[in-house]
C-alpha cells in the first residue's frame, strides 16, 4: 500500500517558486556611506542617520550595487529596464527603523528572464519573473525574555530574485539554487555565504490537482532558510502538511511560515500579505534612474562566469555530474582544468609548467599534479576521464568520528557568540556553527553526525 506522500502525489502536484535574497559585496551600504561589512562587528557600530531613518536624512543610491544587479539580471537572461525607480514598501517590524523599506516595485532592474537547469530527463527551463534591488533590514537577537536589535545590517544592498512557479520537485529547486549561488560568486558580486545570511531562500509552496494548469487559490511562503538541504526538507514537510488538508477537503491557509531545523517542521508566523497591504509609492527622495544602451552594454558577463552555461558545456564532454559540481564550485580547479584543455589543444607545455610557480592550496596542487601526471604519462584516454577518476578517488564523503569531534571543538572555541546564541535558544546559531565546520573541512559530508556532535558538546 502506498505511503501518505505517494497517496498525496497521486492526486496532487507540487507548484513551487522562489524568492531569493542575496546581499551584494559592496564596500558601502545601499543608500549611505556606512560600511556594508556588518558580520561579527560590535552591534550598532556601522550606522548613520540615513540607515537609521532619522528625520531629514536623504538616501543616495549605490551605483556599484545597481551595476552588480544588472550583471546578475544579464546572466539570467532578463530584459533590463532602462528606466528604474525606487519605491517605499510600508510594513512595521522592529528591525526596520524607518517603518518602510526602500525597494523597487513598479520599475525593477530586470524582468522576464530564463535559465536552463539539468534534470534526470535532460534540461528544463526555469523562468525568472523579476530581479530588483532593495535594502536589507536590521537583525533581531532573541535572548530568553527579551529581544535586542542590531542595525549594522540595515541598509546593506540586497538583491531579490523572484522565479516563476516552474519547479516540480525539491531536487530541481536545489540544483537551480546551487547554480545560482555559484553564479553570484563567479560574477564577484556576493560571497553568498548562507551561514552568515548573505543568501536567504524563501520557497513559495502549494499543491494543485494533478493535470490542472490553474494556480492554486493559496500560497505558503517559508521564510529565510539558509541551507539547500533544509529547503528540500521544508518542501517535503509542506507537501505532507498541505496534502493532508487537501485530502480532507480543506484549503491550506495563505500564510508565511518558518522552518525549525531541530524538528524538520514548518511553523506558522503570520498571514501572508498581498501587494495592497504594503501601500507602495515612488520614493520621493530618490529621482528615477535612466540607463542608456551604451551604459548597459559596458556591463558584461563572460561565459566562464555563468555556471548555467558551464554545466551544459562540461556535461557535453562526458564529465560526471559530481565532477562538474567540483569544477563549478571550485573556480581555481576549473581554471587548472581549462589550462590542461588549452595545453592539449595547442600542444603548448609551457601553459602547464607555469602552474608549478603558482600559489595553490594543498587540494588544488594535488589536483594539478594528478592532471600533470596524467598528461605526461597518458594514463587515461582523455582529460575528462582523468577528471572523473580524480573525483571518484579523492573526493569521498566519509569522515571518522575522531575528526568530527576535533573540528567541532575547534569551531566551538572560535565562535563564543554563536555558542551563547544557541544556548539562549537561538536555533539558527547551530546552522552557523555547522557552516563553520564545513568551511574548515573543505568538502561535503552528511551533516547529521556533525549536528549530533554539536548538540552533545553544547548540552
How many Å apart are CA 118 and CA 122, to the nearest integer?
Answer: 6
DSSP labels, 316-348: HTT--HHHHHHHHH-HHHHHHHHHHHHHHHHT-
How many Å apart are CA 418 and CA 430, to the nearest integer?
Answer: 8
CATH 1.10.10.410 domain range(s) in the chain: 401-458
Handedness of CA 331, 334, 336, 342 (dihedral sign): negative
How many Å apart are CA 20 and CA 225, to the nearest integer?
Answer: 10
Question: What pTM value is reported for the model?
Answer: 0.84
Give the CB-side neighbour count of residue 234, counting CA atoms within 13 A. 31
How many Å apart are CA 227 and CA 230, to the nearest integer?
Answer: 5
pLDDT at 278: 86
Give the CB-side neighbour count of residue 238, counting CA atoms within 13 A. 33
How many Å apart are CA 440 and CA 360, to the nearest integer?
Answer: 17
How many Å apart are CA 327 and CA 337, to the nearest integer?
Answer: 8
Cell numbers found for residue 459: 548540552
How many Å apart are CA 131 and CA 158, to the nearest integer?
Answer: 11
Low-confidence ranges of the chain (pLDDT < 50): none
Cell numbers found for residue 255: 500564510
pLDDT at 295: 95
- CA angle (404 as vertex; 400, 405 as ends), nearest 5: 115
pLDDT at 283: 96
pLDDT at 19: 97
Looking up cell 546552522 gives: 431
Which CATH code, of 3.40.50.1100, 1.10.287.950, 1.10.10.410, 3.40.50.720, is assigned to 401-458? 1.10.10.410
pLDDT at 293: 95
How many Å apart are CA 374 and CA 430, to the nearest integer?
Answer: 42
Amino acid at each position: 500500500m502506498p505511503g501518505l506522500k505517494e497517496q498525496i502525489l497521486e492526486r496532487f502536484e507540487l507548484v513551487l517558486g522562489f524568492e531569493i535574497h542575496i546581499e551584494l559585496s559592496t564596500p558601502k551600504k545601499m543608500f549611505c556611506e556606512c560600511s556594508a561589512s556588518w558580520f561579527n562587528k560590535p552591534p550598532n557600530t556601522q550606522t548613520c542617520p540615513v540607515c537609521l531613518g532619522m528625520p531629514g536624512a536623504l538616501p543616495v543610491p549605490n551605483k556599484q550595487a545597481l551595476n552588480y544587479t544588472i550583471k546578475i539580471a544579464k546572466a539570467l537572461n532578463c530584459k533590463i529596464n532602462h528606466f528604474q525607480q525606487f519605491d517605499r514598501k510600508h510594513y512595521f517590524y522592529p528591525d526596520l527603523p524607518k517603518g518602510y523599506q526602500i525597494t523597487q516595485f513598479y520599475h525593477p532592474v530586470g524582468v522576464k528572464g530564463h535559465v536552463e537547469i539539468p534534470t534526470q530527463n535532460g534540461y528544463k527551463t526555469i523562468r525568472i519573473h523579476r530581479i530588483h534591488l532593495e535594502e536589507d533590514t536590521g537583525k533581531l537577537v532573541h535572548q530568553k525574555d527579551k529581544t535586542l536589535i542590531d542595525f549594522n545590517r540595515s541598509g546593506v544592498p540586497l538583491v531579490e530574485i523572484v522565479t516563476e512557479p516552474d519547479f516540480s520537485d525539491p531536487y530541481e529547486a536545489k540544483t537551480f539554487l546551487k547554480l545560482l549561488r555559484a553564479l553570484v560568486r563567479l560574477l564577484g558580486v556576493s560571497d553568498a555565504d548562507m551561514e552568515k545570511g548573505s543568501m536567504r531562500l524563501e520557497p513559495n509552496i502549494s499543491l494543485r490537482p494533478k493535470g490542472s494548469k490553474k494556480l492554486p487559490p493559496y500560497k505558503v511562503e517559508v521564510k529565510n532558510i539558509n541551507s539547500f538541504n533544509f529547503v528540500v526538507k521544508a518542501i517535503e514537510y509542506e507537501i505532507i502538511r498541505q496534502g493532508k488538508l487537501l485530502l480532507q477537503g480543506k484549503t491550506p491557509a495563505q500564510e508565511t511560515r518558518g522552518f525549525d531545523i531541530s524538528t524538520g517542521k514548518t511553523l506558522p508566523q503570520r498571514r501572508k500579505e498581498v501587494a495592497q497591504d504594503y501601500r507602495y509609492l515612488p520614493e520621493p527622495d530618490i529621482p528615477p534612474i535612466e540607463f542608456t544602451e551604451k551604459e548597459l552594454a559596458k556591463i558584461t558577463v563572460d561565459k566562464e562566469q555563468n555556471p548555467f552555461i558551464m554545466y551544459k558545456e562540461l556535461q557535453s564532454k562526458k564529465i560526471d555530474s559530481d565532477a562538474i559540481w567540483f569544477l563549478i564550485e571550485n573556480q581555481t580547479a576549473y581554471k587548472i582544468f581549462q589550462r590542461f584543455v588549452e595545453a592539449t589543444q595547442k600542444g603548448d607545455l609551457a601553459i602547464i609548467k607555469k602552474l608549478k610557480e603558482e600559489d595553490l592550496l594543498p587540494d588544488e596542487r594535488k589536483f594539478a599534479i594528478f592532471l600533470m601526471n596524467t598528461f605526461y604519462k597518458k594514463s587515461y584516454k582523455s582529460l575528462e576521464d582523468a577528471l572523473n577518476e580524480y573525483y571518484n578517488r579523492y573526493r569521498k564523503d566519509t569522515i571518522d568520528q575522531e575528526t568530527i569531534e576535533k573540528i567541532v571543538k575547534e569551531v566551538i572555541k572560535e565562535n563564543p557568540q554563536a555558542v551563547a546564541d544557541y544556548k539562549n535558544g537561538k536555533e539558527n546559531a547551530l546552522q552557523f556553527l555547522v557552516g563553520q565546520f564545513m568551511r574548515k573541512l573543505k568538502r561535503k559530508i552528511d551533516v547529521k553526525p556533525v549536528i549530533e556532535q554539536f548538540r552533545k558538546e553544547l548540552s
